[in-house]
């Protein structure tokens, strides 16, 4: 798992557009992407803690993982997961949704 994650990070860092895009997203647009694409499995709304799929963490829970950044989320969303469908987001959608998720860290 660690080797797989390290390879994904190296791949991300070798792609200049992904690094340049870090933090450049729109939380409002990301919220809309989350509602349209992610909400069937994840709790995506602020203050919503129970996801439609029990094993899918809420976006607020993801946002509060220590060290969670838009870069870490980008790597995670570009890496296949056994329990998550391989959803392909356009680069702007990816920036927006990762910015939205990290924005939830500040809410309480």
Lookup: tokens for 26:
């729109």
Q: How many residues would you count in the chain? A: 108
Q: What are the pLDDT digits (tens) for 70-102?
A: 999 999 999 888 888 888 899 999 999 999 999
- Contact assessment for residue 102 and residue 63, using Cβ atoms and an 8 Å cutoff: yes
Where in the sequence is the domain holding 59, given as residue range(s)? 2-106
9 confidence band (pLDDT: 50, 70, 90):
very low
Number of domains in the chain: 1
Three-class SS state of 105: helix
d(Cα 62, Cα 85) in Å, to the nearest integer? 17
Give pLDDT, residue 17: 44
CATH number of the domain encompassing residue 95: 1.10.760
- Contact assessment for residue 59 and residue 43, using Cβ atoms and an 8 Å cutoff: yes
Three-class SS state of 94: helix
Cβ of 3: how many Cβ atoms within 10 Å? 7
- Contact assessment for residue 96 and residue 30, using Cβ atoms and an 8 Å cutoff: yes
Three-class SS state of 10: helix
Question: What is the mean pLDDT of the segment spanning 50-56?
Answer: 95
d(Cα 51, Cα 20) in Å, to the nearest integer? 32
């Amino acid at each position: 798992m660690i080797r797989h994650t390290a390879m994904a990070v190296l791949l991300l860092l070798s792609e200049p557009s992904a690094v340049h895009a870090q933090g450049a997203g729109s939380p409002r647009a990301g919220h809309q992407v989350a509602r349209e694409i992610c909400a069937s499995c994840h709790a995506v709304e602020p203050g919503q803690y129970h996801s439609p799929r029990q094993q899918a963490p809420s976006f607020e829970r993801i946002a509060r993982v220590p060290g969670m950044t838009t870069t870490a989320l980008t790597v995670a969303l570009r890496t296949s997961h056994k329990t998550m469908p391989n959803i392909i987001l356009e680069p702007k959608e990816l920036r927006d949704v990762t910015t939205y998720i990290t924005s939830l860290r500040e809410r309480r």
